[in-house]
Amino acid sequence: MANTGTRFLSLDVFRGMTVCFMIIVNTPGSGSDSFGPLNHAQWNGFTPTDLVFPSFLFVVGNAMSFAMQKYHALGTGAVLTKVAKRTALIFLLGYLMYWFPFFKLSPSGDILPFPFSDTRVWGVLQRIAVCYGIASLLVYFFSFRTVAALSVLFLVGYWGLLLIFGDTLNPLTPTGNAVLRLDRFMLGEAHLYHSHGLIFDPEGLLSTLPAIVNVIIGYYAGKFVQHKGKGYESIAKLLLTGALFLFVAYAWDLVFPINKKLWTSSFVLLTTGLDLLIMGALIYAVEVREWNWNNWTRFFVIPGKNPLFIYLLSEVLAIILYMLPVRPGISAFDAINTALFQSVAPGPIGSLLFALCFMLLCWAAGWWLDRRRIYIRV
Q: DSSP letters of 258-270? A: -BTTTT-HHHHHH
> Which stretches of the chain are DSSP H helices?
9-26, 52-71, 76-99, 124-141, 144-165, 178-186, 208-228, 232-252, 265-282, 297-305, 307-323, 332-336, 348-371
Q: What is the pTM of this model?
A: 0.91
Residue 253 has a pLDDT of 97
Give the long-range contacts of residues 239-245, CB within 8 A, separation 24 or more: 239/276, 239/277, 239/280, 239/281, 241/273, 241/276, 242/272, 242/273, 242/274, 242/275, 242/276, 242/277, 242/279, 242/280, 243/273, 243/277, 244/273, 245/269, 245/270, 245/272, 245/273, 245/276
- DSSP state, residue 44: B
* pLDDT tens, residue order, the chain (378 aa): 333 345 688 888 999 999 999 999 998 887 667 888 888 999 999 999 999 999 999 999 999 988 887 877 788 888 899 999 999 999 999 999 888 888 777 666 677 787 888 888 899 999 999 999 999 999 999 999 999 999 999 999 999 999 999 999 899 999 999 999 999 999 888 888 887 678 889 999 999 999 999 999 999 999 999 888 888 999 999 999 999 999 999 999 999 999 999 999 999 999 999 999 999 999 999 988 888 877 899 999 999 999 999 999 999 999 999 888 887 778 888 888 888 888 888 888 988 999 999 999 999 999 999 999 998 887
Residue 2 has a pLDDT of 38
SS3 292: coil
Distance CA 315, CA 319 (A): 6
Strand partners, 195: 198
Distance CA 22, CA 26 (A): 6
